[in-house]
Amino acid sequence: MHFALYLFLLAAGSIVGFFSGLLGIGGGILMFPLLLYMPQVFGLDPIGVKNITGLTMIQGFFASLSAMFFYNKHNLVNKSLVLTLGLSLFLSSLAGSFLSKIVPDKPILLIFGALAFTASVMMLIPRSYRKDEMTEDQVAFHKPTAIIIGVSIGFLIGMVGQGGAFIIIPILLYVLKIPLRVALGSTLAIGLFSSSAGLVGKIATGQVPFHMAAALLAGAMPSARFGGFVGKKTKTQYLRWLLAAIIIGTAAKIWMDIFK
């Protein structure tokens, strides 16, 4: 049974790692429901919600790190945006991850569902694709707004064990008006701040099963770089709609389970 579990985690890491690189996400929006619902489908024991939050956090950190190097090489990571939003996310995410240890599973699912629903609504807002091929040196943004956003959402994404890319990307696109490719590349780097803070809290409170994390990462890291390569060659409107579909589907599934 242990071998089957590790094989499942390796496959899950590979699949989610690819989408991490393709869509500029840490992968938690996919990994969380995958680990929550799929083990039982394959006859495996369920994985506890707190262990899932720890696994999604560590997978998100290393998949983001792997894919970010690809985006940075192509001038799609805006350093000023990363530092401004990333640092403001760090402390609030750290606080949320520590508090999550004493919060029951149901409220954590509610928070995750609320964030995913908000992100899905934002991703359906019509937008222009005209500037999406711009590189990071052509991008400007309002720093005070970015700081307020970071502090506001950091605590919540730390609670649910996410790097937060699924909510950060819509905010970059629709609030800060960042071109899509720079938003994807910068979000991977921003996610390193929030996921590293959350990861410290998860490890310190014993919520990361390292033997399972090793199998997850073995699949995630190489596939994340490949996903970045495919994403660079894919039209931005297709990336946006794929990301929207993933967020909407995950939000719908989680809310169905909450009400059930």
- Taking residues 86-90, report their average pLDDT: 83
pLDDT at 145 over 70: yes
Predicted confidence at residue 228, as pLDDT, reads 84
| Maximum separation of any 2 CA atoms in the chain, in Å | 52
Chain centre distance of CA 112 = 12
Cα separation, 47 vs 68, whole angstroms:
29
Average pLDDT on 35-62 reads 86
pLDDT in tens, 91-111: 888 888 888 888 887 888 888
In the prediction, which pLDDT does 220 show? 86
DSSP state of 100: G
Q: Quick check: 190 and 86 in contact, CB under 8 A?
A: yes
Give me the pLDDT at residue 10, please: 93
68: its two tokens: 């970010």
CB 220 within 8 Å of CB 17: yes
Q: How many domains does the chain have?
A: 1
Distance CA 187, CA 201 (A): 21
Mean pLDDT to the nearest integer, 120-144: 84
Tokens of 221: 């890291």
The per-residue b/e assignment along 10-37, b for 16 or more CB within 10 angstroms, e otherwise, is bbbbbbbbbbbbbbbbbbbbbbbbbbbe
Q: Nearest-CA neighbor of 227 among 244, 209, 239, 214? A: 239
| Identity of residue 133 | E
Q: Return the percent helix, strand and coil in the chain, to nearest 5.
A: 80, 0, 20
Domain that holds residue 245: 2-259
pLDDT of residue 127: 81
Average pLDDT over residues 19-37: 82
Amino acid in the structure at residue 251: A
pLDDT of residue 9 exceeding 90, the answer is yes
pTM equals 0.74
Percent of the chain with pLDDT over 70: 97
pLDDT > 90: percent of the chain:
7
pLDDT tens-place string over residues 206-247: 888 888 989 988 988 889 889 888 988 888 888 888 888 888
DSSP letter for each residue of 170-198: HHHHHTS---HHHHHHHHHHHHHHHHHHH
Residue 162: which pLDDT band, with cuts at 50, 70 and 90?
A: low
Distances (CA, A) of 42 to 1, 5, 22: 11, 9, 27
Q: What is the four-CA torsion angle of 56, 136, 153, 222, rounded to 10 degrees?
A: 0
The chain-wide mean pLDDT, for the chain, equals 84
Q: 6, 4, 1, 2: which is closest to 219 by C-alpha?
A: 6
